[in-house]
Amino acid sequence: MPPKRILVVDDVSVIRGFVKGALKHLDVRVGEASNAEQALVMLESMPADVIICDLNMPGLSGEAFVKALRERGDQTPIIMLTVEGNRNTVAKLMQVGIQGYMLKPFKPMILAERVQELLDGTAPPVRPYEAPANTADTAAEADAPPPDDTAVNDAPTASAESTGARG
């Protein structure tokens, strides 16, 4: 059986190298893309088994990359790397279809374990992304005030435990 393919998408070459080093003991082939646009093109001809993607990149962001993948029917598992620890941001990323996230700086062994879980099928299943029916209505609803005294921060949040990131 050929090795599984991992695609690392990050605009910083040092981070891509660090991720490759973290996965060196796994039986995988690691491809690299320096931006989301390049990754989308690469995935058309060379699908990946797992994608590790930075959230904040010039051009197409990691979130927009995930949405683009899901909208074209690609359900490849994605681990998002980010310095953003905001619960609302993480919850939003989970809703658009990532399988986990890791805060930078991350522990290489934990990243490798998470990738292996996704490859083995022992990680949580991929959640399909469904695009909103009418984005204008959705945007208007998001800008509307709460109906009464309801707290604005009642949205569900993702804990580190629910993301699959451990340690």
In this structure, is residue 89 part of a structural domain? yes
In this structure, is residue 133 part of a structural domain? yes
In this structure, is residue 57 part of a structural domain? yes
In this structure, is residue 78 part of a structural domain? yes
User: 142 pLDDT exceeds 50?
Assistant: no
User: Which secondary-structure segment (H or E) carries 120?
Assistant: helix 108-120
Note the pLDDT of residue 145.
37
CA dihedral over 59, 17, 163, 83, signed as positive or negative: negative
In this structure, is residue 12 part of a structural domain? yes
In this structure, is residue 167 part of a structural domain? no
CATH at residue 130: 3.40.50.2300
User: 15 pLDDT exceeds 90?
Assistant: yes
pTM for the model: 0.75
In whole angstroms, what is the distance from residue 120 CA to residue 55 CA? Answer: 25
Percentage above 90 pLDDT, the chain: 63
User: 127 pLDDT exceeds 80?
Assistant: no
**Chain segment 34-55, per-residue pLDDT in tens:** 999 999 999 999 999 999 999 9
Q: How many domains in the chain?
A: 1
- The neighbouring-strand residues paired with 53 are 9, 80
The set of residues, in sequence order, having a beta carbon less than 8 Å from that of 9 and lying 6+ positions away, is: 32, 33, 35, 36, 38, 39, 51, 52, 53, 54, 57, 62, 65
